[in-house]
Amino acid sequence: MISNQRFAGIELGGTKIVCGIATGAGDVLERTSIPTREPEESLVDIKTWLEPRLDDVTGLGIASFGPVYVDPASPRYGHIGATPKTAWQEFDLLNSICEWATLPMALDTDVNAAALAEIRWGAAPGHDNVVYVTVGTGIGGGIVSNGRAVHGLMHPEIGHMKPRRLPDDDLDGMCPFHGDCFEGLAAGPAIGKRWGKPLNELPSDHPAYVMEADYLGQLAVNLLLTASPTKLIFGGGVMNCTELLPMVRDAAARHLNGYLELTDPSNAAVELIVTPGLESNAGLLGAVALVIDT
C-alpha cells in the first residue's frame, strides 16, 4: 500500500530548501530546512542530509522554483531556466541529484506540486481541475487539468499576465521582464515599494488591501476563464493576512459580473476560492505527491 511506503521530498525555494521523509498518507516523519546558497553548495547540503536517509524510501520528488525544464523529452530536462537568481540559471538540478540518488524520481514546479498535494491531502480532495496560486516574493501558479499537472510549452507562469492597472496606482511595477504584470504590481516587493511596509504591518482598512484584492481578483478571473478550476487556492506569505481572501472573492465576483454561475447550492461562490489546506508542509508534501503520482 502506498500509504505505508516512505517517500523523500525536496522543496527547492529561492530562500530556503526543505528536505524531508513522509509516508504515502502524507504524514511527515522527518524534515529539515536549509538556507538556499549557491547551487553547488546547496546540493552538498541536500546530499548531506538526504543521502543517509534513502534506505527504504520508494521514490524522491523534487518541487523546484521556476522556471524549470520539466519536459523529459527536452535536452534541458531538470535544468533551471531564466530566473532572477542568476547563480541558478541553467543549473542542472536533476542530474546533480542523480549522481548520488538512484531511486525513482519526479520533478515539477513547486506550485504544480502544491496543487497535486492539495488535491491529495489538502483543500481540494476529489477535484480534477485545481489552480494553486502563491503570492509572496513573486506570484506563481500551478494548474491541474483533468487530474494532471499542466506543462505544455513550459509550465504555467500566471504571474506574468497583466492586470488592468488601478487609476490610483502609480507604481511602475517591479518585474524585470514585464514591469507591471501581476507579479510586478501585486507580489510582496511591489507592496513594500508602494506602501513602505508589508501588508501584514498595515491596518486592514488601509487602501493597500483594496488594491491588492482587486489585482488578485483580476488574476482569479483570468484563471477561472482559462483553466476553469473547481478549486482556486490562494497561498503564499501575502495571503497570511487573513482579511485579504474574502476581499479577493468579492473583487473576483465584481469583475466577473455574474458571468460564471458560482452559486450552485452544493458549491457556493465563497467556497471556490480558498486558502491552502496544507500549511508549512505544503511544499514538501507537494514534492512527495509528485513521485507518488508518477
Contacts with its own copies by CB under 8 A lie at 81-82, 128-129, 141, 143, 145-146, 148, 150-158, 160-162, 164-165, 177-178, 218, 221-230, 255, 257-262, 272
Work out how close the CB of 243 gets to its own copies at its nearest, in angstroms, rounded to a whole number. 25
Nearest distance from residue 175's CB to its own copies, in Å?
A: 9
User: Min. distance of Cβ 198 from its own copies in angstroms?
Assistant: 26
| Grid cell listed for 265 | 447550492
The beta-strand segments (E) located in the chain are 6-12, 16-23, 28-35, 57-64, 105-109, 130-135, 139-145, 148-149, 231-235, 273-274
- Complex with its own copies: residue 100 or 177, whichever CB lies closer: 177
Q: Least distance to its own copies from the beta carbon of 152, Å?
A: 3
Task: Show the cell assigned to 233.
Answer: 487556492
Closest distance of CB 2 from its own copies, Å? 22
Gap between the Cα atoms of 133 and 140, Å rounded? 6
Q: How many CB atoms lie within 10 A of CB 16?
A: 13
C-alpha distances out from residue 198 to 42, 202, 203, 220, Å: 29, 7, 11, 22
* Nearer to its own copies (CB atom), residue 18 or residue 88: 88
Q: Is 96 or 129 the residue whose CB approaches its own copies more closely?
A: 129
Looking at beta carbons only, is 31 or 160 nearer to its own copies? 160
The CA-CA-CA angle for residues 49, 63, 227, to 5°, reads 165
CA distance 186 to 173: 9
Least Cβ distance, residue 8 to its own copies (angstroms): 26
- What is the rounded CA–CA span in Å between residue 40 and residue 30? 24
The reply to whether omega before 207 is within 30° of 0 (cis) is no
Closer CB to its own copies, 161 or 171, in the complex: 161
Q: Which is nearer to its own copies, 20 or 234 (CB)?
A: 234
Q: Residue 24 or 163: which CB sits closer to its own copies?
A: 163
CB of 229 to its own copies, least distance (A): 5
Q: Name the residue nearer to its own copies (CB basis): 16 or 165.
A: 165
Report the distance separating Cα 114 and Cα 116, nearest Å. 5
Instruction: Kindly calculate the radius of gyration of the chain based on its CA atoms and give it in whole angstroms.
Output: 19
- Least separation in angstroms between residue 260's CB and its own copies is 6
Query: Cα–Cα distance between 158 and 138 in angstroms, integer?
Result: 11
d(C-alpha 173, C-alpha 187), whole Å:
10
